[in-house]
Structure 1
């Protein structure tokens, strides 16, 4: 019987505004689904309680819609959630989930396929990234980013290119924050430093920027370079990002697979674990992070 099972709790998910609205919305969505399951109530019955549709309950339980405080309160009543601490935490999450996403100030320039990654990466405890073609977006200089974005979108107006660059520049700020910053483990193919983006001067300043970031963020940033000798381990062919969160019991791992004109996301444990293994293998055969500075200095000299 439902009463014999321990009621789900949301108290383990903290109220952390720096994690962003999406993380709070996703955690709350999963909690509402677990509460409904624990109460033994079907989605259609839950929908009737808030005078809505079964599709609305589905969207609420997958975090694909905004939460209305009154509806959430009604659902908690229906699910017999009476603990005042639980209800207070839910109310905090509802308020946080209603705040703008980190990409919304750049809504005109944020590609829809990238928005889930932009929304969730502030809540990550650890990010592993593999980039076979370019310096990862978090670590690009403004001029490098502008050249890359313009190459991908040659017909876009200058104002939109500038907005996309501004969006890319703000992403590194999460590594600098004082409260629970994520750790970024970035692996780049060695050819990234041989492929000229812009001019030799652009490349020189980009590599100097990477060296400066390693100096500034010794605990939050780890870079590895994968030489051609890693063979098949480095032949992934497209950027991969694996996010692991501070509260995995509420936020499952997320994998972002970049495509030329879109992206795929993987959150099923079997899929995220597979990409975790692929990236772990790549990190294991790439040049150790302790040697990255020396390799960057060598690359720097080649662009003088």
Structure 2
């Protein structure tokens, strides 16, 4: 029977990278680790390269070999080993989603918190279905209508991370939105933006959601450079930053650039209106319509 090739999912890649890092920190070679575990050398290599499965108990034993005994690390590694092969709900959308988008959805599902700056649109996790269809249709203008609707469905389905995840608390979500976004209008649907602003106010009530508005008369700040998102995870997983462009996005992980983005978000928060004033601003603009 031929060997089944495992798909190197994002979770498998993150697990393999973590195990490789702990092995190197322990000063062990692949051969030494394999000898202690009584494995073939290729098994350690394939696990680290996301090409082989490792059971949670094996992952825990391997960490013990590497001298790692922190409970939070053990728990995180075992959980990822258990979930590495699980298929996300988004797999049913097939090729409509790019590989990078699927990776992002996997990150979002596992994340502890997300901090996002959006100078030109409402963040995806806070969009109504109607707003999502208008924005996706405008930005992905080359896609057929059925794909636009599918992407809007995905965007709405993503929002479940804000209200509850099986066995996990909701995602902590902090968004800073430029005031100009609140003044967007859609000629084909005059009531669309009012409904979107009402939705923002409803979401702002959730204890895990923070929304701030960057006022028109703001001090210069890093948010002027464009959309970015800082995604944080439980220990030991590193923080990931996502920047977006017309046909996809780019991940920044494990570099000093991540710290720059985190410091940038802090400066953006300082330039934004306090939470209460932000809600009043949204309400005032909504009631103008």
TM-score w.r.t. structure 2 length?
0.80
For residues 231-242 of structure 1, the aligned pairs below 5 Å read 231-233=219-221, 235-242=223-230
| Alpha-carbon spacing, 1:26–1:102, altered in 2? closer, same or farther (3 Å) | farther
Matched, 1:106 2:96: no
Taking a change above 3 Å as real, the CA distance of residues 52 and 147 of structure 1, as seen in their structure-2 partners, is: same
Deviations 1:147-168 (A, max 9, x none): 1111122232222112111110
Question: By how many angstroms is 1:108 displaced?
Answer: 2.3
**Could you say which residue in structure 2 is the equivalent of 1:65?**
50
Unmatched runs of 5 consecutive residues or more in structure 2? 1-8
Query: Deviation string for 1:263-290 (max 9, x for gaps)?
Result: 1211124111110111100001101111
3-state DSSP of counterpart to 1:230: coil
Aligned to 1:140: 127
Please report how far the alpha carbon of residue 80 of structure 1 lies from its aligned counterpart in structure 2 after TM superposition.
Answer: 4.7
Partner of residue 241 from structure 2, selected from 255, 259, 268: 255
* Contact kept? 1:185, 1:221, Cα under 8 Å: yes
Unaligned 5+ segments in structure 1 are 1-20
Pick aligned residue for 1:209 from 190, 199, 211: 199
Q: Does 1:170 align with 2:157?
A: yes
The reply on whether 1:31 has 2:19 as its aligned counterpart is: yes
Q: CA deviation at 1:45?
A: 8.9
Residue of structure 1 in register with 2:6 after alignment:
none
Partner of 1:183: 172
Q: Taking structure 1 as reference, are residues 240 and 292 closer, same or farther at Cα in structure 2, changes over 3 Å only?
A: same
Query: 1:231: how far off?
Result: 3.7
Aligned length: 273
How large is the RMSD of aligned CA atoms in angstroms? 3.6
Give the deviation of 1:257 after TM superposition: 0.8
TM-score by length of 1: 0.76
The reply to whether residue 267 of structure 1 matches residue 267 of structure 2 is no
Secondary structure at 1:290 match in 2: helix
1:121 CA drift (Å): 1.6
Matched residue, 2:4? none
> CA 1:92/1:256 → structure 2, altered by over 3 Å: closer, same or farther?
closer
